[in-house]
A and B are shown apart, each in its own frame.
Chain A
């Protein structure tokens, strides 16, 4: 029993991070019908800012987190303002937007490798007493995992309230229904795009900090989680916010349980094989609905 519990807790903590990134994919897809593939670099910038602000500016961990989030918002907004918006204005096919995102991601990660080196750096979490783990019988709860899971749920809950209980949220939902009609109805679409890139910058930024704390700060910090989160958002239903969260958690748990009960050697083969089969029966993803009812 404790074995299953241990694996479930590990799976949920991984899934929580996937979910954080996946909601960014869902938000942007819901409004603009394309997937933003530059979250990896937002995560990376966030991790590096957290590390270097503690090392060079000697600020506290909490302050470093705040600076990282500010930096990730800036990077996320820059990708929208400098790359995506001008392309959309030119009426570019959305496939080109996705390729642009991939290009930004690779370029920023490679620049970081050249300028900062690829060495693994550790974010010191002792200040918030997040080191080590707590033993509950034979189950070990890593403090960082608990922190990550709670933080992920707080952010996701706040996002839910924002989208479904505020006027700006209504604007986003309206744009998700049909961005052109929303524009005609008086919704400021540029403001909506600013808000969704602002929010997805925050969520990817937190994911980057958590990955940096749990593993290491390296230029490729965001590459694998961002890719898996994209898969999670597809599984949950592209453009669906609850779907992204559910998809992220399912993916994390499925990977862990496959490693635990089948084989870690065949983990990706089996867990992604299962997902492919599931997608055959649910082509819109688990919670994805028709075009008219996203978010």
Chain B
């Protein structure tokens, strides 16, 4: 029996040693491992489902062209859909400690990205978030730069202020009521910057109402807004379902105010669900998914996967191209080298154009903002808006 125990212990040590040998992700011939963390299942599966497909396609394309620095690329994906924040922490730990990735792409939301900051900083592995737009993802509240955190999208302040300027200057609306998710960093950020800018421009906020993302009933708040003399309602929500519920209930209460939306609404599923009741709403977006420059890609993607890619997929590919660029530029596939190369990088050629990263904040510089209109048939781009003009 004693011998059996000894043999078992030796076998275990041997196995661990073998596993550790397998972890050696940085040896010359081993593939370069890149992680992906996103919602692939669960209530918000639409966020990550096409992103992971787009990344797999792009990795295959890179490998067919000879890989990066002559090494193959391997994508390691983890689904965080069923319980996003704790799963992000688990996935980030696994990716850096067990899988030995050189960088992580994702997650999509600020709450989750912020939960991963300390892990990435300690492990010195960069995380390139796709759509997490809260400022504190890359710069902590005390103003310190999180040097291993980067993002592909614009920040909430940028969107909130741009929407305020568009509403006041272009739509000529002077009184707005705000209805926002009170438990979401992303919507609270946009809402805060919208209100600040809108009031600075001379507009009036007639009422600020709130909800949480499990709510389905908004009529009490909408009745307040109806009585508040507002000309428009800003609906700050990160999910299209809530935008749909609110649109439906506005109609039921006979509220015909202009509805303003944020990029969290931007999902194809909104149209069959609530395109009719939100018809005429105006919203911001990080991009126009259906712009002509993406047509060929969308058609090929749709033919291969049977579904259209969304902007989460576009930004995931952007992040992968940034990592590829940084490894090639530094000649080294390590987290530290990638981070160093990306901070302050100019005109990185990515899928959605050229990306310049601000060295002080790790935010993209001068991103375009699109103003879209919701119609019963789909999203229609009104204009590409430059808040500085």
Point out residues on A near B: beta carbons under 8 Å: 3, 6-7, 10-11, 14, 110, 113-114, 117-122, 132-133, 135, 140, 142, 211, 214-216, 218-220, 223-224, 255-260, 263-265, 267-268
Pairwise interchain contact B220-A265, C-beta atoms closer than 8 A: no
Pairwise interchain contact A118-B208, C-beta atoms closer than 8 A: no
Q: Choose among A113, A218, A219 the residue with the greatest number of B CB atoms under 10 Å from its CB.
A: A113
Contact A114/B41 with A7-B223, A211-B216 known, Cβ cut-off 8 Å = yes
A-B contact pairs, 23 of them (CB 8 A): A10-B217, A10-B223, A11-B220, A14-B217, A110-B82, A113-B41, A119-B269, A120-B240, A121-B273, A122-B273, A132-B251, A142-B252, A215-B216, A215-B217, A215-B245, A216-B245, A220-B43, A224-B215, A224-B216, A256-B220, A264-B209, A264-B210, A265-B208
Distance of A221 from chain B, by nearest CB (Å): 9
Q: Choose among B44, B179, B244 the residue with the greatest number of A CB atoms under 10 Å from its CB.
A: B244
Pairwise interchain contact B220-A259, C-beta atoms closer than 8 A: yes
Contact of B224 among A122, A218, A259 (CB under 8 A): A259
Q: Using Cβ atoms and an 8 Å threshold, which residues of chain B touch A122?
A: 273
Q: Counting CB contacts under 8 A, is B16 at the interface?
A: no
A146 CA to B26 CA in the complex, in Å? 66
CB nearest neighbor in B for A220: B43
Q: Using Cβ atoms and an 8 Å threshold, which residues of chain A touch B41?
A: 113-114
Pairwise interchain contact B254-A133, C-beta atoms closer than 8 A: yes
Distance of A265 from chain B, by nearest CB (Å): 4
B contacts with A: majority SS? mixed
Pairwise interchain contact B214-A223, C-beta atoms closer than 8 A: yes
Distance of B258 from chain A, by nearest CB (Å): 19
A224 CA to B211 CA in the complex, in Å? 13
Pairwise interchain contact A140-B252, C-beta atoms closer than 8 A: yes
Residues of B180-199 contacting chain A, CB below 8 A: 182
Q: Using Cβ atoms and an 8 Å threshold, which residues of chain A touch B253?
A: 6, 133, 140
A118 CA to B137 CA in the complex, in Å? 27
Q: Using Cβ atoms and an 8 Å threshold, which residues of chain B touch A7?
A: 220, 223
Given contact pairs A119-B46, A224-B214, A264-B179, a sample of 7 additional A-B residue pairs in the complex whose CB atoms are under 8 Å apart: A122-B273, A215-B216, A216-B244, A220-B43, A258-B220, A259-B220, A264-B220
Pairwise interchain contact B273-A120, C-beta atoms closer than 8 A: yes
A3 CA to B240 CA in the complex, in Å? 28
Residues of B209-230 contacting chain A, CB below 8 A: 209-212, 214-217, 219-221, 223-224, 227
Distance of A31 from chain B, by nearest CB (Å): 30
A113 CA to B219 CA in the complex, in Å? 28
Q: Using Cβ atoms and an 8 Å threshold, which residues of chain A touch B220?
A: 7, 10-11, 255-260, 264, 267
Pairwise interchain contact A3-B223, C-beta atoms closer than 8 A: yes
Q: 8 shortest A-B CB distances, which residue pairs?
A: A259-B220, A265-B210, A264-B221, A215-B216, A264-B209, A118-B43, A256-B220, A142-B252
A211 CA to B245 CA in the complex, in Å? 12
CB nearest neighbor in A for B44: A118
Q: Counting CB contacts under 8 A, is B45 at the interface?
A: yes
Q: Using Cβ atoms and an 8 Å threshold, which residues of chain A touch B219?
A: 6, 10, 256
A113 CA to B252 CA in the complex, in Å? 29
Q: Counting CB contacts under 8 A, is B42 at the interface?
A: yes
Contact A3/B221 with A117-B45, A264-B210 known, Cβ cut-off 8 Å = no
Pairwise interchain contact B223-A133, C-beta atoms closer than 8 A: no
A205 CA to B251 CA in the complex, in Å? 27
Pairwise interchain contact B42-A265, C-beta atoms closer than 8 A: no
A214 CA to B43 CA in the complex, in Å? 19
Q: Using Cβ atoms and an 8 Å threshold, which residues of chain B touch A140?
A: 252-254
A17 CA to B201 CA in the complex, in Å? 44
Q: Using Cβ atoms and an 8 Å threshold, which residues of chain A touch B44?
A: 118
Contact of A3 among B46, B208, B227 (CB under 8 A): B227
Q: Using Cβ atoms and an 8 Å threshold, which residues of chain A touch B43?
A: 113, 118, 218-220
A232 CA to B199 CA in the complex, in Å? 41
Distance of A114 from chain B, by nearest CB (Å): 6
A224 CA to B43 CA in the complex, in Å? 14
Q: Counting CB contacts under 8 A, is B241 at the interface?
A: yes
Q: Using Cβ atoms and an 8 Å threshold, which residues of chain A touch B208?
A: 265
Contact of A264 among B45, B224, B245, B254 (CB under 8 A): B224
Distance of B48 from chain A, by nearest CB (Å): 12
Q: Using Cβ atoms and an 8 Å threshold, which residues of chain A touch B209?
A: 259, 263-265
Q: Using Cβ atoms and an 8 Å threshold, which residues of chain B touch A211?
A: 216
A121 CA to B270 CA in the complex, in Å? 10
Distance of B322 from chain A, by nearest CB (Å): 30
Pairwise interchain contact B216-A118, C-beta atoms closer than 8 A: no
CB nearest neighbor in A for B244: A120
Pairwise interchain contact B241-A216, C-beta atoms closer than 8 A: yes
A117 CA to B215 CA in the complex, in Å? 19
CB nearest neighbor in B for A118: B43
Q: Using Cβ atoms and an 8 Å threshold, which residues of chain A touch B241?
A: 120, 216, 218
A256 CA to B224 CA in the complex, in Å? 11
Pairwise interchain contact A6-B223, C-beta atoms closer than 8 A: yes
A36 CA to B213 CA in the complex, in Å? 25
Q: Choose among A114, A135, A265 the residue with the greatest number of B CB atoms under 10 Å from its CB.
A: A265
Distance of A24 from chain B, by nearest CB (Å): 20
